[in-house]
């Protein structure tokens, strides 16, 4: 998206002043975010598509000067289209995910985040299985999609590496045509972090 084409509302100008952001960037984030919860200088804490993420996934880094990169309109659909093309071309079954970087609360640095998933179940449910000492696991589920995204993110890098895709073989996933990223999202009221964030503000 070209920033010069963005209409900057009075609310975007206010956010830009408050959080010391470029006003065009603030306008794009405002249009992309489902909720704005707060911020720090240069960044807004947002919820987009049920995911807590800075700046609603809008990024100036690795975008041509004067432009911003956004999440796909429908990341699962984008993953499904890519998966279909790969499966037709290579006559095999694969799982595909669209990856972006995000921040873990109270941790320094970015990690991988699966924003779109197609072709595999993104969560491994360990409940009702025994732990190391034979006790029944009650709550643990593993977000395989984000684990794989973190692996890919490490290899793709955040700078000028120019690695646009990563092939992971032997991953412990269940290939499944119904796999979607929504199956890895948690209702805000059930989330330890999300349930404490309060109402949207800016």
- Judged by DSSP in three states, 48 sits in strand
Under 8 Å between Cβ of 152 and 112: yes
Digit-coded pLDDT (tens) for 59-112: 999 999 999 999 999 999 999 999 999 999 999 999 999 999 999 999 999 999
DSSP state of 170: S
Does any domain span residue 61? Answer: yes
Residues for the chain: how many in total?
A: 202
pLDDT recorded at residue 159: 93
β-strands 141-143, 43-48: how paired?
A: unpaired
Q: What is the span of the domain harbouring residue 118?
A: 74-186
Residues 48 and 110 in one domain: no
pLDDT recorded at residue 123: 97
Residues 66 and 82 in one domain: no
- The CATH number given to whatever domain includes residue 14 is 3.90.1660.10
What token pair was written down for 68?
A: 């911003």
Residues 86 and 180 in one domain: yes
pLDDT at 197 exceeding the cut of 90: no
Give me the residue label for tokens 């995911």. 51
Digit-coded pLDDT (tens) for 122-151: 999 999 999 999 999 999 999 999 999 999
pTM, two decimals, is: 0.90
> Which candidate, 124, 134, 106, places its Cα nearest to that of 171?
124
Give me the residue label for tokens 């720090």. 40
Residues 27 and 95 in one domain: no
The whole-angstrom separation of Cα 117 and Cα 67 is: 26
């Amino acid at each position: 998206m070209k920033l010069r084409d963005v209409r900057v509302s009075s609310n975007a100008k206010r956010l830009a002043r408050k959080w010391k952001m470029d006003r065009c960037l603030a306008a794009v984030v405002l249009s992309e975010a489902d909720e704005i919860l707060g911020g720090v200088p240069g960044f807004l804490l947002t919820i987009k598509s049920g995911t807590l993420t800075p700046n609603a996934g809008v990024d100036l880094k690795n975008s041509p000067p004067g432009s911003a990169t956004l999440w796909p309109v429908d990341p699962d659909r984008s993953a499904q289209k890519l998966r279909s093309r790969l499966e037709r071309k290579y006559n095999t079954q694969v799982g595909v995910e669209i990856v972006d970087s995000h921040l873990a609360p109270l941790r320094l640095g970015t990690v991988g985040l699966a924003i779109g998933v197609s072709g595999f179940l993104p969560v491994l449910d360990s409940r009702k299985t025994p732990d190391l000492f034979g006790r029944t696991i009650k709550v643990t589920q593993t977000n395989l999609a984000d684990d794989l995204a973190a692996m890919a993110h490490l290899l793709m890098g955040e700078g000028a590496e120019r690695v646009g895709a990563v092939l992971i073989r032997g991953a412990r996933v269940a290939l499944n045509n119904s796999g979607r990223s929504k199956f890895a999202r948690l209702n805000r009221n059930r989330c330890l972090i999300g349930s404490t964030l309060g109402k949207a503000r800016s």
